[in-house]
Structure 1
Amino acid sequence: MKDALFGGINAAALTAMNPDLSPDLDTYAAHCKWLLANGCNGLGILGTTGEANSFGFNERKEILEGIVARGVPATRLMPGTGCASLTDTVELTKHAKAQGCRGVLVLPPFYYKAPTDDGLFAYFSEVVNRTGGGIALYLYHFPQQSAVPFSLDLIGRLLKAFPGVIKGVKDSSGDYANMKAMIDHFAKDGFEVYSGADNFVQKILAEGGAGCITAAANVNARFGQIVYQKRTGPEADAAQAVLDATRKAATAVALIPGLREIIARSTGHDGWRVIRPPHLPLVGDEGQKAWDAMQAAGALPLAGMGMKAAAE
């Protein structure tokens, strides 16, 4: 897809934390800069992998402001702003716009289950109208986590009502048929479809999707960028094979603690193991299992991700 705002490889970035569970903005900004220098076209911050819903409203503002102030370009950030509260979603979206972000990723209101399409349309209509435009909204389709899916009918209604504002979707369902249906129905109107899974990157690009926003891109983005640039041929196929393998490796243990373990070992920075409950760090031999699986997948070592890089 041409002219996609976040077209390409986007990491669903981990959020660095201090021992007291507060955001470690220096380390986080350094990680974001490393990702952008090592294969990422953009970054999905404060999403599922970034533990957005473990942070409070003011903390989420502090995190975005903090990394932008430390030199991470706001134009390459897609913050998660979706909350159960309408007013929180609106205010976080306005805040992202004020920081210079071009788009935000918006969960549906996830506390009340089985809302109607009419109810979701009313919710997103309020978000758009209260935000006042000037920033693109990306729908976050992750029914396993939110229990609130986006139907094709709802997406079509939103696109018709708010052309150019409802800009795309991140589909983390793992259901490629659903991604393909969204591409077939809406890509002609400039609707950007991003896979939340690395194993679909080459396929979704070939069929008119915009790219990916994935957790494993914290470690495999350089291979994703090869796929994005080459698309087809032996080099692209080999890189896609690494993406497939790293996806399996990343899910060999609990995803977020496992990725934190990989980054901690790669940087020599123990703080990356800090995680907010109810998530817990890996224990026992799980850390070695995560490392061995990622190494076997071909993603390690992570060049340039040493202590010096993490501290800068």
Structure 2
Amino acid sequence: MKDALFGGINAAVLTAMKPDFTPDLDRMAKHAKWLLANGCNGLGIMGTTGEANSFGLHERKQILEGLIARGVPASVMMPGTGCASLADTVELTIHAREQGCRGVLLLPPFYYKGPSDDGLFAYFDAVAKRVGGGIALYLYHFPQQSAVPFSLSLIGRLLDAHPGVFKGVKDSSGDYANMKAMIDAFASRGFEVYSGSDEFVQKILAEGGAGCITAASNCNSHWGGIVYAKRTGPEADAAQAMLTATRRAATAVPLIPGLREIIARSTGDDGWRVIRPPHLPLSKEDGDKAWATWQATGALPLPGMPAVKQAAE
């Protein structure tokens, strides 16, 4: 897809934290800049991987403002602003627009299960009207986590009611047939479809999608950048194979603490292991398993990141 606002490789960025669980903005900004220098076109902050729903409204604003103040461009960031509360969703979305972000990622209202498409339409219609334009709205389809899927008919209704406002979707379902159905139905209307699964990057780009927004991009973005630049051919195929292998490595242990463990060992920075409850850091056994699984892919040491001797110990 040409002219996609966030076309390419977008990392679902981990949120660095201090020992007291407050955001560590210096550490997070450093990581964000490394990602942009090593294959990422954009950054999804405050999503699932960033533990958005473990942070309060004011903390989420603080994180966005803090990254911008530390030199991470607002234009490359897609903050997650979808909350169970309509008012909070609107407030965070307007805040992102005021900071200079071009788009936001919206979870559906996830607390009440089994809402009708009419109910979901009413929610997102209200969000769009209260925000009042000036920022692209992306839907976050992750039914395994939210338990609230987006149907094709709902997406079509939102596009009809708000042309040019609902710009795309991140599909983290792992169901490529669903991604392809959204491409087939809506790509001709400029609707951008992003895979939440690294193994589909090359395929979705070839079939009219816009790219990916993925957790494993925190560590494998170097190869994602190759796939996005080359698309086809031996180099792209080899890079896609690495994306697939590292995605499987990332999910061999609990995903979010596992990625933190890989970055902690790769950088020698133990601070990356800090995670907010109810998540917990990996045990020593699972940490060793995560490291060994990533080593088996050939991805370590991470390109662009100095090797650390103690990381392998």
Whether these two folds match at TM > 0.5 is yes
Residue 21 (1) aligns with residue 7 (2):
no
Aligned positions of 1:135-146 closer than 5 A? 135-146=135-146
Distance in 2 between residues matched to 1:128 and 1:306, nearest whole Å: 44
Q: Deviations over 1:137-173 (max 9, x none)?
A: 0000000000000000000000011111100000000
**Structure 1 position 305, deviation (Å):** 3.0
In structure 1, the residue matched to 2:204 is: 204
**Structure 1 position 306, deviation (Å):** 4.8
In structure 2, the residue matched to 1:277 is: 277
* 8 Å contact kept, 1:90–1:131: yes
Classify the secondary structure of the residue corresponding to 2:133. coil
Classify the secondary structure of the residue corresponding to 2:193. strand
Distance in 2 between residues matched to 1:246 and 1:271, nearest whole Å: 23
In structure 1, the residue matched to 2:96 is: 96
* 8 Å contact kept, 2:222–2:303: no
**Structure 1 position 31, deviation (Å):** 0.5
In structure 2, the residue matched to 1:30 is: 30
Classify the secondary structure of the residue corresponding to 1:285. helix
Residue 6 (1) aligns with residue 6 (2):
yes
Distance in 1 between residues matched to 2:290 and 2:58, nearest whole Å: 33
In structure 2, the residue matched to 1:187 is: 187
- Which 5+ residue runs of structure 1 have no aligned equivalent? none
* 8 Å contact kept, 2:106–2:138: yes
Distance in 1 between residues matched to 2:304 and 2:247, nearest whole Å: 22
In structure 1, the residue matched to 2:239 is: 239
Distance in 1 between residues matched to 2:165 and 2:298, nearest whole Å: 39
* 8 Å contact kept, 2:301–2:307: no
Q: Deviations over 1:69-105 (max 9, x none)?
A: 0000000000000000000000000000011000000
Classify the secondary structure of the residue corresponding to 2:122. helix
Residue 80 (1) aligns with residue 80 (2):
yes
In structure 1, the residue matched to 2:311 is: none
In structure 2, the residue matched to 1:128 is: 128
Distance in 2 between residues matched to 1:146 and 1:89, nearest whole Å: 15
TM-score (structure 2 length as normaliser): 0.97
In structure 1, the residue matched to 2:114 is: 114
Whichever residue aligns with residue 202 of structure 1, its letter is Q
* 8 Å contact kept, 1:262–1:290: yes
Q: Structure 1: which 4+ aligned runs deviate by more than 6 Å?
A: none
CA RMSD of aligned residues (A): 1.1
* 8 Å contact kept, 1:46–1:52: yes
Classify the secondary structure of the residue corresponding to 1:10. strand
Distance in 2 between residues matched to 1:264 and 1:38, nearest whole Å: 18
Distance in 2 between residues matched to 1:127 and 1:232, nearest whole Å: 39
**Structure 1 position 292, deviation (Å):** 1.1
Whichever residue aligns with residue 210 of structure 1, its letter is A
Deviates more, 1:119-128 or 1:290-299: 290-299
Whichever residue aligns with residue 180 of structure 1, its letter is K
**Structure 1 position 18, deviation (Å):** 0.1
Classify the secondary structure of the residue corresponding to 2:284. coil
**Structure 1 position 299, deviation (Å):** 1.7
Aligned positions of 1:37-48 closer than 5 A? 37-48=37-48
Residue 147 (1) aligns with residue 147 (2):
yes
Distance in 2 between residues matched to 1:254 and 1:226, nearest whole Å: 27
TM-score (structure 1 length as normaliser): 0.97
* 8 Å contact kept, 1:268–1:306: no
Classify the secondary structure of the residue corresponding to 2:139. strand
Aligned positions of 1:294-309 closer than 5 A? 294-306=294-306
- Which 5+ residue runs of structure 2 have no aligned equivalent? 309-313
In structure 2, the residue matched to 1:248 is: 248
**Structure 1 position 307, deviation (Å):** 9.9
In structure 1, the residue matched to 2:66 is: 66
Whichever residue aligns with residue 25 of structure 1, its letter is L
In the comparison of the two structures, how many residue pairs are matched? 308
Distance in 2 between residues matched to 1:99 and 1:61, nearest whole Å: 10
In structure 1, the residue matched to 2:219 is: 219
Q: Does the C-alpha gap of structure 1 residues 133 and 304 become closer, same or farther in structure 2, counting only changes over 3 Å?
A: same
Distance in 2 between residues matched to 1:54 and 1:68, nearest whole Å: 21
Q: Does the C-alpha gap of structure 1 residues 307 and 243 become closer, same or farther in structure 2, counting only changes over 3 Å?
A: closer
Instruction: Give aligned-pair identity as a percent.
Output: 80
